[in-house]
Chains A and B, each alone.
Chain A
Amino acid sequence: MDQISGFAIFSKLVANFGQLTADFMIKILITDDHQLVIDGIQLILDEADDFQCVGTANSGERALELLATTPADVLLLDINMPGMDGLETCRRVRAAFPSVKILMLSMLREGSLVKLLLNEGASGYLLKNAGKDEVLEAIRKVHRGERALGAEVLDIFLQPESEKKRLMTSPFPSLSRREKQVLQLIVDEKTTQEIADELFISFGTVETHRRNILMKLNARNTAGLVKAAIEYKLLD
């Protein structure tokens, strides 16, 4: 009896082993409009034994359909696709299947796009020509709930960010050289005509500069200009 039951348990275990191991494997869905790219990724995935490709889709629409019937852990997603593009697909997957981790796999390396997609809920961003190990490692990372950026993508963010780097001495947008000259002369109590004469530019051009300075310094009149110029040391 015991023997029988022991065997039953063992055989049950053996029978379930396939399922169990499958549970420990990371289930992946690949979405790209180029079959060749999908094939290439599958080749890479075949090399590792902790991945299982549960499906492939050639469009964002198809990927959403598949996810409804085929649970997946990680979605590898291209950006440039006809029809629903990667950005829109990413938004919809996040809304309908919040547990699915999204790893972008794109040819595009513009910083603004990387930021945009990460903001929209993607967990990682890889360039398509990333190496084999980089791809595998990134999939594991996003599956663990970490953020994964490819080496080249990371490179973009390591660039010094000019906006942040700049010391904000004034809350206003910068004045151009000419605008500074005009502002200086306004502060010196020169009339538009005198400014035009001095700078060898037309009356109308001086007026245009004045308007632009007013706009930039958020001032309503000359007094406001002078006040801002002094307060924020806009003039050297």
Chain B
Amino acid sequence: MRKRRFHILLQFATLLLPFLAASQTVPDSLEGLLQGPMHDTVRLHRYFDLVTANLKPNIAKSLQYADSATLLSQQLKDERLTQLSGYHHGVAYRFAGKYSKAMEHLGAYRAFCEAKKDKAGLANALFQMAFIQDMQGDKEMSLSTYQKALSINRELGNRKAEAEALSSMGEVFQGMNQHEKAAALRLEAVNILEALKDTVALGNAYNNLGNTYRHLKDFDKAELYYQKDYELAKRTGDEFAMGYALHHLGRIFRLKKQYERAEQLLLESLAIRRKLGHKTEIVYSLNGLAQMYNDQKRHREALGLAKEALELCRSENIRSQEVNVLSLLSEANYGLGEYKESMDLYLRRTELRDSLMDVETTNQMAEMDARYQASEKDKALKISELENQGRKLQIAWLVALTIALAALAGVIFFGLKNRMRANHRIAEQQDTLRQQEIRQLEQANQLTALSAMLEGQEQERSRIAADLHDSLGGLLASIKSHFNAAPPPNADNDIFEKTNAMLDGASTEVRRISHNMMPRALSLSGLKGAIEDLAQDLERQGLSCQLELIGLDDLPLEPARSVMVYRIVQELTHNAVKHAQASHLLLQAIRHEGRLTLLVEDDGKGFEVGAARLKKGLGLSSVESRVQFLNGEIEWDSVQGQGTTVSVTMPING
């Protein structure tokens, strides 16, 4: 079965499918394979083959086989096979134009493959989903999904699938009228397939590339690739494909106004199609010829062909082509001076087109409705999930713990096993390394953005603090000295004192704000001094604070990192005082073998760490992003009613 048919069908996807049964041959030989006794798994795979084989010729049958496959796989109670049935079901739905159902199945299969790390399966699912996204008009999404499928296939070295993805991306660009991009992608696909010598796929690719160049009005290149397609089809004896190639070549010559050559090619194509008895294709050929004759003002000949085409359309119910045929008939009649007839035909054409569009619109509405229902269901599901989450949290912790232990055991087991098969693993390891590199790069990018943001924030704070402190603080101090040196002559003592007190209050306030923004002590007396000040401040607020700073003299910490460490301590102690309402605090910073370990422990209320993380409250996220900036690790340990212990450990140099 040539994939070609499918690509041409795309143009009429939803409309044409029901009428295909009559014009295409059903793979009888395959159905015969279902006869007789066989293992269920074998039967299941036969079903899969039948789903695939019937996609284009008889989608109803394909769906039936998909149902059978799903039933059988459920009986077999094999998760992988059930999922695979789901995938086939999804593909069948896709061809039937039932996109929301198709997406459900394919989405499930995708998730399954992701979980099982089945990359080939994942690429297949993505490929199918991208096609649907394209059909649903979400071109950007489709391209990005194709791109994922493409990357996976490249990684797997699956050249043919890579070419298919490239070709399909070309299809999307073509739909967006970006024919240059389409041409580039399709050319890449052709190059791959030429190297693979995959004649079937290569034929499709030539044909697609020809179409793109035709859109670009690069008729010479279009001709070149249609010609290549023709030669390939001829060599493999694929008459169906030959029919298409000749038809396309004929069209190109018509567009080049080389009518003689065009006529010859179109007639040849028609002859082949008549021989094969493919009604839809015969209509295409008749239309192509009629159009050319109209161009040449050979209206009488055009009229004859178009009439034949119209009869075929009616008898075979090929309604989408009927619109074209009526146009051609109208045009021919006009050329012959039969204006009334021409007008009637034109009106009939318009009427038919509108009714077909109605059908299409109705279908689209139904599809949109189905999608809406699905998304509503999704929403409801998510809400109930969220509601459950809270309750499940505790269980989740236990489960997570168990999973973590199991995973650890698994890692140890596999570690031993793998050591014995070291040679076998080199390739895999390289692969993992590459992925790790990618992940690290991504992380590095995120980190760069994060540090830029955090550093910018600190710079800004520093600037504001300096402004406040120097300008406003200095001004207040000098106001006070001026005021004291030359008090207003009539002011009584009370007002004088009060004004002085207010000036002092203002100075203290400016000092406090600027200190919180950026403690000068940090740059002058270092992290140790700044933390000592912080502890002293806490004591002044009535907290008992146990301070243990070890090895912090001459700490070789970059200023930017030093500020971050200070902020972490500031935030954690702030939490202890404000949220936990602690009365005793242990504040520890220990330098040991190139690492700095901070510990802030309070005797406050404590909190639910998991819940707080979800809410991202309590300045947790600001602490965590700073820890990330410092390339460190953080651990929250809180017991309600007992207190909270937070420990952070980081390398001193980056």
CA distance A212 to B593 in the complex (A): 12
Q: Is the CB of A111 within 8 A of B590?
A: no
Q: Is the CB of A174 within 8 A of B524?
A: no
CA distance A177 to B475 in the complex (A): 49
Q: Is the CB of B401 within 8 A of A202?
A: yes
Check A112/B532 contact, CB under 8 A, given A41-B481, A47-B485.
yes
Contacts of B588 on A, CB cut-off 8 Å? Answer: 173-174
Contacts of A108 on B, CB cut-off 8 Å? Answer: 511, 515, 520-521
Q: How far is the CB of B632 from chain A (nearest CB, A)?
A: 13
Check A110/B470 contact, CB under 8 A, given A37-B477, A87-B524.
no
B418 CB–A CB distance under 8 Å: no
Which of B470, B480, B520 is in CB contact (< 8 Å) with A129?
A: B480
CA distance A127 to B550 in the complex (A): 31
CA distance A115 to B482 in the complex (A): 29
Q: Is the CB of A162 within 8 A of B547?
A: yes
Contacts of B533 on A, CB cut-off 8 Å? Answer: 110-113
Q: Is the CB of A116 within 8 A of B599?
A: no
A223 CB–B CB distance under 8 Å: no
Q: Is the CB of A129 within 8 A of B503?
A: yes
Q: Is the CB of A36 within 8 A of B474?
A: yes
Binds A, one of B146-154, B170-178, B534-542: B534-542
CA distance A43 to B487 in the complex (A): 12
B601 CB–A CB distance under 8 Å: yes
Q: Which residue of B lies closest to A160 (CB)?
A: B539
Contacts of A34 on B, CB cut-off 8 Å? Answer: 470, 474-475, 478
CA distance A46 to B519 in the complex (A): 34
Contacts of B525 on A, CB cut-off 8 Å? Answer: 110, 112-113, 115-116
A190 CB–B CB distance under 8 Å: no
Q: Which residue of B lies closest to A157 (CB)?
A: B536
Contacts of B550 on A, CB cut-off 8 Å? Answer: 173
CA distance A78 to B592 in the complex (A): 37
Q: Is the CB of B590 within 8 A of A40?
A: no
CA distance A235 to B453 in the complex (A): 45
A33 CB–B CB distance under 8 Å: yes
Q: Which residue of A lies closest to B400 (CB)?
A: A202
Q: How far is the CB of A168 from chain B (nearest CB, A)?
A: 11
What 0/1 pattern do residues 155 to 187 of A give for CB contact below 8 A with B? 010011011001000000110111000000000
Contacts of B511 on A, CB cut-off 8 Å? Answer: 107-109
Which of B476, B484, B599 is in CB contact (< 8 Å) with A132?
A: B484
What 0/1 pattern do residues 624 to 648 of B give for CB contact below 8 A with A? 0000000000010101001101010
Contacts of B510 on A, CB cut-off 8 Å? Answer: 107
Q: Is the CB of A79 within 8 A of B645?
A: no
Which of A37, A132, A159, A216 is in CB contact (< 8 Å) with B539?
A: A159
Q: Is the CB of B546 within 8 A of A174?
A: yes
In the complex, chain B residues 469-510 whose Cβ is within 8 Å of any chain A Cβ: 469-470, 473-482, 484-486, 500, 503-504, 507, 510
Q: Which residue of B lies closest to A199 (CB)?
A: B637
CA distance A33 to B478 in the complex (A): 12
Q: How far is the CB of B402 from chain A (nearest CB, A)?
A: 10
A61 CB–B CB distance under 8 Å: no
Check A36/B475 contact, CB under 8 A, given A87-B524, A108-B521.
yes
Which of B404, B405, B507, B519 is in CB contact (< 8 Å) with A107?
A: B507
A44 CB–B CB distance under 8 Å: yes
A24 CB–B CB distance under 8 Å: no
Q: Is the CB of A176 within 8 A of B474?
A: no
CA distance A85 to B213 in the complex (A): 73
Check A129/B544 contact, CB under 8 A, given A108-B520, A112-B529, A113-B521.
no
B450 CB–A CB distance under 8 Å: no
Q: How far is the CB of B609 from chain A (nearest CB, A)?
A: 12
Q: Is the CB of A129 within 8 A of B477?
A: yes
A80 CB–B CB distance under 8 Å: yes
B140 CB–A CB distance under 8 Å: no
Check A177/B520 contact, CB under 8 A, given A34-B470, A36-B475, A111-B532.
no
CA distance A8 to B635 in the complex (A): 88
Q: Which residue of A lies closest to B506 (CB)?
A: A129
A194 CB–B CB distance under 8 Å: no
B597 CB–A CB distance under 8 Å: yes
Contacts of B524 on A, CB cut-off 8 Å? Answer: 79, 85, 87, 113, 116
B408 CB–A CB distance under 8 Å: yes
Residue of A40, A44, A129, A160 contacting most chain B CB atoms (<10 Å): A129
Q: Is the CB of B469 within 8 A of A110?
A: no
A215 CB–B CB distance under 8 Å: yes
Q: Which residue of A lies closest to B486 (CB)?
A: A43
Residue of B478, B481, B485 contacting most chain A CB atoms (<10 Å): B481
CA distance A210 to B30 in the complex (A): 66
Which of B405, B466, B475, B507 is in CB contact (< 8 Å) with A203?
A: B405
Q: Is the CB of B485 within 8 A of A43?
A: yes
Q: Which residue of A lies closest to B481 (CB)?
A: A40
A208 CB–B CB distance under 8 Å: yes
Q: How far is the CB of B627 from chain A (nearest CB, A)?
A: 15
Check A129/B476 contact, CB under 8 A, given A173-B590, A215-B592.
yes
CA distance A111 to B524 in the complex (A): 12
Contacts of B546 on A, CB cut-off 8 Å? Answer: 162, 166, 174
B586 CB–A CB distance under 8 Å: yes
Q: How far is the CB of B472 from chain A (nearest CB, A)?
A: 10
Residue of B466, B524, B544, B645 contacting most chain A CB atoms (<10 Å): B524
CA distance A196 to B396 in the complex (A): 17
Give me the 6 closest cross-chain CB pairs, A-B, nearest first.
Answer: A40-B481, A112-B529, A43-B485, A128-B477, A40-B478, A36-B478
Extra contacts, 15 of them, besides A110-B529, A176-B601 (Cβ < 8 A), are: A36-B478, A40-B478, A43-B481, A43-B482, A47-B485, A79-B520, A80-B466, A107-B510, A107-B511, A111-B536, A162-B535, A174-B548, A174-B588, A176-B647, A204-B408
Chain A contacts to B: CB under 8 angstroms:
32-34, 36-37, 39-41, 43-44, 46-47, 79-80, 85, 87, 107-113, 115-116, 127-129, 131-132, 156, 159-160, 162-163, 166, 173-174, 176-178, 196, 200-205, 208, 212, 215-216
Q: What are 24 A-B pairs at a CB distance below 8 A?
A: A32-B474, A37-B477, A37-B481, A40-B479, A40-B480, A43-B481, A46-B485, A107-B477, A110-B515, A110-B525, A112-B521, A112-B529, A113-B521, A113-B524, A129-B477, A159-B540, A162-B544, A162-B546, A174-B546, A176-B637, A178-B637, A204-B408, A208-B635, A215-B592
